[in-house]
Structure 1
Amino acid sequence: MEVYRAFIFRLLRNYLIGSLTAIFVVGTVIMVSTLQVPHIQYVRLVVIVLISILFMLVAELITLWFQLGPIRHFFAAEHHEKAELEQMYERIHRFPGQTIYRIIGPHMLGFSLPAAGFTLWMISTGWLEIPYGFVGVAAACAFLIGIMHALIEYYLAVRAVRPLLLEVRRRGKILYGVEPSLGGRVLVSMRRKFQISTALIGLFPLCLFFLATYIRLQYIDQQFAKEYTFWGVLIVILGAGFALVGSWLLIRDVRDPVTELTQEMIRIQGGEFGRRTPDLYADEFSALISGFNMMINRLEMRQERNRQLLQSYFSLLAAALDARDKYTAGHSMRVAEYSILIGRLSGMNEEQADLLYKSALLHDIGKIGIPDEVLLKDGKLSDEEFAIIRKHPVLGESILLQIEPVDAMADFLPGVRSHHERYDGKGYPDGMVGEDIPLFGRIIAVADAFDAMTSDRPYRNGMSDEKALMILEEGKGTQWDPYFAGLFIDEWRRQKHLETKSKEGIS
């Protein structure tokens, strides 16, 4: 509650300063400098102002009490639901906007109506000797002052609520490990803020001067005052036009770089680091864009370093597995190369091709869990030993599932588990059929079989490429996916044909 009490103190302090400035300084100075009435009537006007201020304060405090109710109850409690934290975070952000209604409402209803009523009554009784029309002018002045007071209070409230927002975020971090956030939602448009603020700042003194001068001229020359009214309204309209054009130009000058940076951030969130934001500005946005581009440079460098480390990590795992058996050395790397060849031939994009390559590198990682006497056996495996070997896809998936974070290996699990499935459903471990087999599993199966057939083993020599291709061709649609096997066979033969023609040309 300490943060909330400090907030209330700042809120009341800001309000008192704003009220005193708006009513006593601006209002009283205008009243004293423009009206020409006997001293006793000034006293009566001051009494009207004081009574009206009392009404305004009561209306203000009642409105404030209701607006602060949910915030007060929130900070009085010690435990909050996660949804409650999010709702309060948004409510506090909306509080400065509510301040505008809290200020303007009491000014109009709590101050202007009682003041106008008391003034009209005193004029009718003869206690005040001023024209009835001056009451309308005074009401217009009060309206202008109320709007400016609300504008000032809004920006003061924006700063005042920040400690509350930090406290809500702190509680969210402690209770749930997550700090509440708007998630990029815009509750108050910067364009709207700038447009209203600049227009009011430009129009307020102009309108106030016009009204005060009009009253003053009534005492000097009423005929000239009537002529002045047309001239003054024209000036106010021109001033309003300049204020609106000026606010639009200012908004555009601020909005364009903000929009550009926002678009660049969206692009970067999508992983695009190649482009830099052009520095086209000579103000503080130049420093902001320069810093933004430096951040992109560092992110790009870090991403490239992480990519290299991750690639090295996968290659190291594959090399560690291949090192157990000198006869399968390089197997994982070759299967990865064949797999990515098939992937690119099928039109796979770079991101998918990279995932396929890494999946292929890890496809036999489960063999780490196979005993040496089975994995390294020179002769033919018994049925029991082959059953143990058949466990390596499931073992591989289990090993990868133990890597943190949990989702880090999610893209590689299907290929590792399914690379021994057969297209006709007679494979293992799940007996999946056709295109039910994951995409990476169907591609790795072709690459794995080709390398296994063409590699030497202790108990046999590797067969020729052409013989292996013929076996792949015979197994299309039964053991292997016919589309991917066909792509690999055709490409391999095409490359061999080109190599043969090249050698014949040299000789």
Structure 2
Amino acid sequence: MNEYKKFLRKMIANYVMGSVLAVAVVGGLMIMTTINTTLFQNLILLGIMFVSFMIMMLLEGMTFSKHLAPIRQALVPDIASIEQLEHAYVQLHRFPKLAIYRIMLPHFLGLTIPAIALVSLAISEQWITMPWYYIGIGIAGAIMVASMHAFIEFFLTSITIRPLLRVVKDKLYKQHGRDTLALAHVYLTVRQKYQLSIFLIGVFPVTLFSLAAQIRLQEMTGIDAMQYWQWAGLVIGVSIVFSLCGAFLLARDVEHPINNLFNAMSRVEAGDFGVIAHDEYSDDFSRLILGFNHMVRGLNMRDSRNQQLLDSYFATLAAALDARDPYTAGHSQRVAAYAVEIGLRAGLCEYDIDQLRKTALLHDIGKIGVKDAVLLKDGKLTDEEFDQIKKHPEMGESILRQVEPADAMRPYLPGVRSHHERFDGKGYPDGLKGNSIPLFGRIIAVADAFDAMTSDRPYRKGMPKDRAIMILEEGRGTQWDPQLATLFIEDYRRKQQELHNAEAQ
């Protein structure tokens, strides 16, 4: 509430100061010092200005109150709804543009229309003596003054809203646990801001001076208006062209580093911490680029450490599982290596290969829940004991679902659950068939079967690898995915041929 009152006081102070300067000082002094009138006529003009000023204040006050309503509704009560706070946040961001709207419409029209009507009445009744075309010059001058007032008010409002934006943001988060990221929006581009600002700064003083000078020179020298405006129009035209060119060049110069940073930030958001924003600048943007690159290097180092910790976590889990059974020590690591070979031959991208490797390391994590008497049994398992073993894919999925954050383990769940499914639909736990089996599950099934066949067990010795390869060939299309099994078989035979050739030499 206190911040809202401060905001309101500051907005009113800025507006009153700008209005008094624009209307009373600039407008009043320009009229009094430019037009050669009597004291009585000056008093009439001041009266007209005062009445017009009061009408303007009334109309603009009503508009300002309407614009302020969403902010007042969100901040005056102690508790406000999500919709009220979000509306207030957006409205605050729109306030600088709304300030331009207020000044160029209710402010300008509320002042100009009554003033034109009253001046016209005064000229008709001969209360003041001046040419009728002075009204047209006055309208042009009023547009210039209103434009500069709007320009100043825009930047003052941009500064004034900042503390209140923080208040709304904090209130939204504390009361409803919501942030304002989804409300982020560009309400006025840098190009628009710079082009309009430079245009007004370059054109306003020259045009206003030309309007005032025309009246003053005509009264002093009797110079012909057409002859004067041929010269003044050329000066104003040159000023406009120069202002537009300067605004374009300045906006482009500022936009380039902003776009450079935005593009780099987009890549960081996508997970690319190796990005570097190019430093091609000789002003303060160079320091900004340097700070951004320093920040990204820090993020890259932290991400690398996190990846190392994550890899170590997966390897440790696999090693802990394998340590329960000395006869299968290293099984998870070997299955992961075989799975990666298949994934590479299948053309998986680097990201998918990493996900596949981690899934393979954890594929038997569910065996943690199998009793030692069953898992380490030397002889043949009974049907009941085998049913217990068959539960380990589901148990593995259940274990990984308990790891927080939940989305961290989500990519590995399908492969862990489905690595004992068969291509012909006779596997477990879900009896999936063909390509309905997740890709990682089909890959790991081949790698797991090959290592199981070639590893020693207490009750049997591991078979030769060539024999295991033959079994994989025979089981293509029934137990294993035919394409993936073929990729593994071809890769194995290629390596054997290379080894044979090397020994022959």
TM-score normalised by length of structure 1: 0.97
Corresponding letter in the other structure for 2:306? N
The CA deviation at 1:159 is 1.6
Q: Deviations over 1:67-121 (max 9, x none)?
A: 2222222223444443443333222211221111111223332111111221221
3-state SS of the aligned residue for 1:377? coil
CA distance in 1, matches of 2:465, 2:397: 31
The CA deviation at 1:479 is 0.8
Conserved 8 A contact 1:112-1:142:
yes
Give unpaired runs (5+ residues) of structure 2. Answer: none
3-state SS of the aligned residue for 2:411? coil
The percentage of aligned residue pairs carrying the same residue is 49
Conserved 8 A contact 1:107-1:142:
no
3-state SS of the aligned residue for 1:229? helix
Q: Deviations over 1:396-436 (max 9, x none)?
A: 00100000001110000011001111111111111111111
Residue of structure 2 in register with 1:320 after alignment: 320
CA distance in 1, matches of 2:370, 2:33: 99
Residue of structure 2 in register with 1:477 after alignment: 477
Residue of structure 2 in register with 1:352 after alignment: 352
Residue of structure 2 in register with 1:110 after alignment: 110
3-state SS of the aligned residue for 1:73? helix
The CA deviation at 1:293 is 1.1
Residue of structure 2 in register with 1:74 after alignment: 74
3-state SS of the aligned residue for 1:411? helix
CA distance in 1, matches of 2:83, 2:390: 49
Range with bigger deviation, 265-274 or 77-86: 77-86
The CA deviation at 1:254 is 0.4
**Mapped pair 1:248 → 2:225:** no
The CA deviation at 1:486 is 0.9
3-state SS of the aligned residue for 2:186? coil
Conserved 8 A contact 1:424-1:434:
yes
Residue of structure 1 in register with 2:153 after alignment: 153
Corresponding letter in the other structure for 2:441? G
Corresponding letter in the other structure for 1:168? V
**Mapped pair 1:164 → 2:164:** yes
Once the two structures are superposed, the pairs formed by residues 317-396 of structure 1 within 5 Å of their partners are 317-396=317-396
Give the superposed CA RMSD: 1.4
Residue of structure 2 in register with 1:27 after alignment: 27
The CA deviation at 1:225 is 4.6
CA distance in 2, matches of 1:125, 1:84: 54
Residue of structure 1 in register with 2:494 after alignment: 494
Conserved 8 A contact 2:70-2:84:
no
The CA deviation at 1:273 is 3.3
Conserved 8 A contact 2:206-2:239:
yes
Residue of structure 1 in register with 2:50 after alignment: 50
3-state SS of the aligned residue for 1:223? coil
Conserved 8 A contact 2:396-2:417:
yes
Conserved 8 A contact 1:199-1:240:
yes
Q: Deviations over 1:166-188 (max 9, x none)?
A: 12211221123221235553221
The CA deviation at 1:382 is 1.3
Residue of structure 1 in register with 2:468 after alignment: 468
Give unpaired runs (5+ residues) of structure 1. Answer: none
Once the two structures are superposed, the pairs formed by residues 292-311 of structure 1 within 5 Å of their partners are 292-311=292-311
Residue of structure 2 in register with 1:290 after alignment: 290
Conserved 8 A contact 2:260-2:278:
no
Conserved 8 A contact 1:89-1:181:
no
Conserved 8 A contact 1:168-1:180:
no
Corresponding letter in the other structure for 2:170? R
Q: Deviations over 1:419-466 (max 9, x none)?
A: 111111111111111111110000100100100110111111110001
CA distance in 1, matches of 2:55, 2:182: 37
The CA deviation at 1:223 is 2.8
TM-score normalised by length of structure 2: 0.97
Corresponding letter in the other structure for 1:117? A
**Mapped pair 1:425 → 2:396:** no
3-state SS of the aligned residue for 1:161? helix
Corresponding letter in the other structure for 2:310? L
Conserved 8 A contact 2:268-2:275:
no
Corresponding letter in the other structure for 1:50? F
The CA deviation at 1:224 is 4.9
CA distance in 2, matches of 1:355, 1:140: 69
Conserved 8 A contact 1:261-1:277:
yes
CA distance in 1, matches of 2:272, 2:131: 70
CA distance in 2, matches of 1:201, 1:84: 38
Range with bigger deviation, 404-413 or 80-89: 80-89
The CA deviation at 1:141 is 1.1
Conserved 8 A contact 1:217-1:224:
no
Q: How many residues align?
A: 505
Once the two structures are superposed, the pairs formed by residues 4-15 of structure 1 within 5 Å of their partners are 4-15=4-15
Residue of structure 1 in register with 2:38 after alignment: 38
CA distance in 1, matches of 2:464, 2:330: 18
Corresponding letter in the other structure for 1:291? G
Conserved 8 A contact 2:274-2:297:
no
CA distance in 1, matches of 2:270, 2:180: 23
Q: Deviations over 1:131-184 (max 9, x none)?
A: 222222122111211111111111111122222221221122112322123555
Residue of structure 1 in register with 2:215 after alignment: 215
Range with bigger deviation, 183-192 or 60-69: 183-192
Corresponding letter in the other structure for 2:202? G
Q: Deviations over 1:285-313 (max 9, x none)?
A: 11011111111211111111111111111
Corresponding letter in the other structure for 1:363? H
Residue of structure 2 in register with 1:124 after alignment: 124
CA distance in 2, matches of 1:246, 1:117: 39
Conserved 8 A contact 2:104-2:150:
yes
